[in-house]
Amino acid sequence: MAAFVWLTILTALRILGRNRLRAGLTMLGIIIGVGAVIAMVSIGEGAKSAVKKQIATMGTNVIIIWPGVTTASGVRSAQGGAVTLTVADALDLKKKIPLLSDTGWSKRDVRQVVYGNRNWNAPINGISPSYLTIRDWSFSSGGPFTQADLESAARVALVGQTVVESLFEAGEEPVDAVIRINNVPFRIIGVLSPKGQSAQGSDQDDIIFIPFTTAERKVLGTLFLGSVGSVFASTDRADDLPEAVEQIREVMRARHRLQQEQPDDFTIRTQVDIGKIQEGTGHTLTIMLFAIASVSLLVGGIGIMNILLVSVTERTREIGVRMAVGAKRRHIVMQFLIEAMTLSLFGGALGIVFGLVGAKLTTIIAGWPTIISGDVIVIAFLFSLVVGLFFGLYPANKASRLNPIDALRYE
């Protein structure tokens, strides 16, 4: 049997070698299908890992609480605009929920920043010192402000890389420089290490941090003291996140005196949730790409079936001779199946090569990160094998059902 299979493979290779153009055209569908799968999955995986890295820049085990109900349909309960998140909420959460390692808060708006004869419109974030640790910000020079700075509403600022680049000459030291935000002078005490793009695609380094109290009193203004834009919290372990979210919800509902039937007047998101949203987008893309690949593989499979049917007709006499000298039905079936699979495997192998080259070119030309996974290559290869097998079955079966006498007489 082994000898038979081996010889049949050799025969198949020889026959395909004789009709190279025909075989190449037949394989085109498989090549495109498999190539598309490989290239697209590589790009998708690359994008996914980039997003993962971006989400990691948010901090570790971060929970974010926003005010208001952010429903997609836009229907909000008429709670009255005055009810928002406050510093007291953040402090109370930390006191009441031991799972939370820390809580912080921020208030954010864009203001003009001036240094010397340069100016820049930067998002100004008034924050609690804890915010910096929760979000994992580190410093390339200088250092953070303190609780004392917060309490005294000190005019100190931390600046991100983008801001530094916009306001300072290359090589100029920003620390201890005095900038004016909204015409209020601030001394820079720290330069933040760069974080790059956020998962949403915004530049995280285009930022200025100032103490929250300074922000609400001197820069951003406020409806009432202590109202914040968002509250941040973190847990020590990622596994604690769901439980922490539940407890935050309970405490917040109690603090905001919400009745049983009233919806939350805040939204809680964890880092994991945000990751999932991003993955969801990637997922839709992946499904679409797989649809395209499936169609190409289907077309490729039909191409293989078509060419095999032609081959069966062309070689009717040969089939008759083989039957006359003792080929059983399964021998004939196997011969054509092996031919089909040789075609599809060759196509698959070429497709893998094209896919890998395509992925590489995407990285080089478009600068998108790509990740080549061995799994996908194996799956693509197996898939082309299955396509060959499936679409080879009908022609192979047709060949094996020929009547030897008619086949021998076929002109």
Partner 1 sequence: MPLIVCEDIWKIYRIGDVEVPALRGLSLTIEQGEFVAIMGASGSGKSTLMNILGCLDQPTKGRYRLDGVEVEQLRHDRLAEIRNRQIGFVFQSFNLIPRTSALENAQLPLFYRGLSLKEQRAQAAAAIQRVGLSGREHHYPTQLSGGQQQRVAIARALVTSPSLLLADEPTGNLDTQSSREIMTILEGLNREGITVILVTHEADVAAYASREITIKDGLILSDRATKARSHEVGA
Q: Is the CB of 19 or the CB of 294 nearer to partner 1?
A: 19
Q: Is the CB of 42 or the CB of 335 nearer to partner 1?
A: 335
Q: Is the CB of 74 or the CB of 326 nearer to partner 1?
A: 326
Calpha distance 229→67 (Å, rounded): 7
Q: Is the CB of 288 or the CB of 405 nearer to partner 1?
A: 405
Closest distance between partner 1 and the C-beta of residue 338, in Å? 13
User: What are the φ and ψ backbone dihedral angles of 160, each rounded to 5 degrees?
Assistant: -85, 170
Q: Is the CB of 122 or the CB of 332 nearer to partner 1?
A: 332
Chain positions contacting partner 1, by CB under 8 A: 1, 3-4, 6-7, 14, 18, 317-318, 320-331, 404-405, 408
What residues pair up with 141 in beta bridges, in sequence order?
191
Cα–Cα distances in Å, from 294 out to 34, 56, 113?
9, 34, 54
Cα–Cα distances in Å, from 303 out to 11, 95, 348?
21, 69, 14
Calpha distance 108→110 (Å, rounded): 7
Closest distance between partner 1 and the C-beta of residue 325, in Å? 4
Write the DSSP string, 132-166: HHHTT--EEEE----HHHHHTT--EEEE-HHHHHH
Q: Are 206 and 162 in contact (CB under 8 A)?
A: yes
Closest distance between partner 1 and the C-beta of residue 313, in Å? 15
Beta strand 230-235 with 266-270: parallel, antiparallel or unpaired? unpaired
Closest distance between partner 1 and the C-beta of residue 314, in Å? 10
Closest distance between partner 1 and the C-beta of residue 403, in Å? 8
Q: Is the CB of 349 or the CB of 399 nearer to partner 1?
A: 399
Calpha distance 122→140 (Å, rounded): 19
Q: Is the CB of 23 or the CB of 37 nearer to partner 1?
A: 23
Calpha distance 222→228 (Å, rounded): 9
Closest distance between partner 1 and the C-beta of residue 331, in Å? 6
What residues pair up with 107 in beta bridges, in sequence order?
126
Q: Are 298 and 34 in contact (CB under 8 A)?
A: no
Report the amino acid identity of residue 199: A
Q: Is the CB of 175 or the CB of 408 nearer to partner 1?
A: 408
Closest distance between partner 1 and the C-beta of residue 402, in Å? 11
Question: Which residues neighbour 192 within 8 Å (Cβ) at sequence distance 6 or greater?
Answer: 137, 138, 139, 140, 158, 159, 160, 161, 205, 207, 209
Calpha distance 387→394 (Å, rounded): 12
Closest distance between partner 1 and the C-beta of residue 308, in Å? 18
- The single residue listed with the structure tokens 């839709």 is 284
